[in-house]
Chains A and B, each alone.
Chain A
């Protein structure tokens, strides 16, 4: 089957920053993304789980975008304005998709 090259960008960020990040992603003309909850983890600020959370801003989420390679820089520039000062991880991996016109 014919596949097409794409980039998979995964941004793990604090929940409180989520709407700011999705606004930035949309500003970069990326309309498709998925949001996943993160159940817990460990980092420079120590370990945590969702059960320890009290507030609306606690915890982390993952935002996953799959885009055409040529749109990567625009997306990263826009997203980096949001995540620059904050806890989080941005990873980019190569992937392949079946329906290129959707990305």
Chain B
């Protein structure tokens, strides 16, 4: 399948179009909005469902060496990508070292929504992936934060990793729910899934559509407000970095011998940027960094790029390299 037909197939889906609708509504200043509590509820539902299904899948296939190696690779990618991102960003833009380090941390970490959207594309294309990729996603959240703080300490100091912050990052609600539901899925297996399938399977795509509608609105508002914050180089970074990250993910997946579906997910994890866990950590550890810069880049530029163009492009690349 060529990249264009794949892109056309994955673009014209309710999921992507819902996101585009949200983006459009925000850009034309419509008052369309999803109430905060409903958005929070949908986010909890999606995390639980994706974690649970991942755990069930692992229970089916069992634990092997590839799982451990993929987890380790995820941690290494998460720690290493900020170092590359920092160099690229400093080369392309005129951002301060502090802001560049904060942005770099976001790109080493992951966007679970992009991951969910990619897994949904795989399911609609009938491409299998390993359930443990959910655990890899969780493992890739935090190492990037340490790399970002190291970059700041190295350049001029100021980044501080207090013990309380470390606990907050590792035990933040999203990680606890994702890993917790993954373990529940792993322990209860197919039997457990049968019991709650009407909740975790049937409504999943519909809820994802509504959630992405909300993400589109938030991304559009962020883009509108952050328009003057980013120079052309920083904007280019928001597109170039996910491409670089996806290639790193593809290389790692190839060396690990991952299946096509898992390779795509590792690419997406490497290409995506955090907009929930890392911004919170940065506000505590690097309060002098400008949040408008890193939020606009990760949520307003890279997230839409990955969702609309990135995922089909990465899938085409992975199909060419890995086959399947």
> B279, A55: Cβ atoms under 8 Å?
yes
> B33, A16: Cβ atoms under 8 Å?
no
Q: Does A52 interact with chain B (Cβ within 8 Å)?
A: yes
> A50, B36: Cβ atoms under 8 Å?
yes
Please indicate which of the listed interface residues A20, A46, A53, A86 has the most CB atoms of chain B within 10 Å of its own CB: A46
> B173, A56: Cβ atoms under 8 Å?
yes
A48 to chain B, nearest CB (A): 8
Q: Does B129 interact with chain A (Cβ within 8 Å)?
A: no
CB-CB < 8 A to A47: which residues of B?
A: 225
Mask: chain A, 12-35; 1 = CB below 8 Å from B; 0 = not: 001011001000000000000000
Inter-chain CA distance A85–B36, complex, in Å, is: 28
> A58, B279: Cβ atoms under 8 Å?
yes
> B279, A52: Cβ atoms under 8 Å?
no
Q: Which of B1-9, B16-24, B281-289, B313-321 contacts A (4 or more CB under 8 A)?
A: B281-289
Which residue of chain B has its CB nearest to the CB of A20?
B164
Known: A14-B283, A16-B283, A51-B33. A46 touches B275 (CB 8 A): no
Q: Is the interface of B mostly helix, strand, loop or mixed?
A: helix
> A57, B287: Cβ atoms under 8 Å?
no
Which residue of chain A has its CB nearest to the CB of B226?
A46
Interfacial residues of chain B within 193-222, with CB under 8 A of chain A in the complex? 218, 221-222
Which residue of chain B has its CB nearest to the CB of A84?
B287
Contact of B276 among A17, A54, A85 (CB under 8 A): A54
Q: Does B291 interact with chain A (Cβ within 8 Å)?
A: yes
What are 10 A-to-B residue pairs whose CB atoms are below 8 Å? A45-B290, A45-B291, A46-B226, A51-B33, A51-B35, A55-B275, A55-B279, A56-B173, A58-B279, A85-B288
User: Footprint of B on A, CB under 8 Å?
Assistant: 14, 16-17, 20, 45-47, 50-58, 85-87
User: Footprint of A on B, CB under 8 Å?
Assistant: 33-36, 164, 172-173, 218, 221-222, 225-226, 275-277, 279-281, 283-284, 287-288, 290-292, 299
